[in-house]
Amino acid sequence: MLRAIDINCDMGEGMGNDEALMPYINSANIACGFHAGNGETIRRTIELAKLYNVRIGAHPSFRDKDFFGRRELDIPGDKLYAIVIEQIIKMDMIAREKGVKLYHVKPHGALYNMAARDPKIARIIAQTVKDFDESLVIYGLSGSHLVKESQAMGLVAVNEAFADRTYRDDGSLTPRSQPNAIITNETESLQQVIQIMERGTVTTVSGKVIPMQAETICIHGDEKTAVGIARTISNALHRKMMNR
């Protein structure tokens, strides 16, 4: 059964797609300066989001611009807490400066993947968000430890699925190091999103159909195909909702 769903996108990463993507999304995950971006890009992205009535969220990561935050790092829990809250505070300060309320937090890259599978890391991130502002929503991989640990702490956490990534049989994302990890075809991306929304399933790279719950769908703003995919999905979902 088709239902309304949030479409989110990673932004403020200096890829040049942000303004073109804004009409087709509901939530923007804004880089906080650790894997990409800086104060200027944060301000510009928040201004665009405000203009298009798009919710804004902090997109914290490891401090690792050389690898775009996609390299897994082993750091102590107290240091992880510190780097996450530093980024949330920075984003919140600039949001307030622009007269906008921070809506959500979604970890980026390696931190996102580690929080999905490691309950300890998930708890640290959830605790950080709760300590800062327990009204913030957490976006995490569908069925992941981040979603479960956040909900266990009484936070609102939503299951996220991806329009432009493929899945393995265990529900994890196919590693970017593999050639079939990214979906670049607009039709294939739309088909995956419709399957998730209508059937609550996704077809993995092996051809297996597995359960997939999602309240939000992510499109990566750093991909060249992002605008086309976002437009296709947004327009198709709008038509389907109008014709229900």
Model pLDDT, residue 231: 97
224 φ, ψ (degrees, to nearest 5): -60, -30
pLDDT in tens, 59-68: 999 999 999 9
Mean pLDDT of 63-88: 97
> pLDDT above 90 covers what percent of the chain?
91
Of the candidates 104, 76, 73, which has an alpha carbon nearest to the alpha carbon of residue 88? 104
Q: Domain residues of the chain, as ranges?
A: 6-242
174-213 per-position pLDDT tens digit: 999 998 999 999 999 999 999 999 999 999 999 999 999 9
Cα 19 to Cα 23, 138, 142, 216: the distances in Å are 8, 24, 27, 20
| CATH architecture label of 6-242 | Alpha-Beta Barrel (3.20)
Q: What's the pLDDT band for 241 if we cut at 50, 70, 90?
A: low
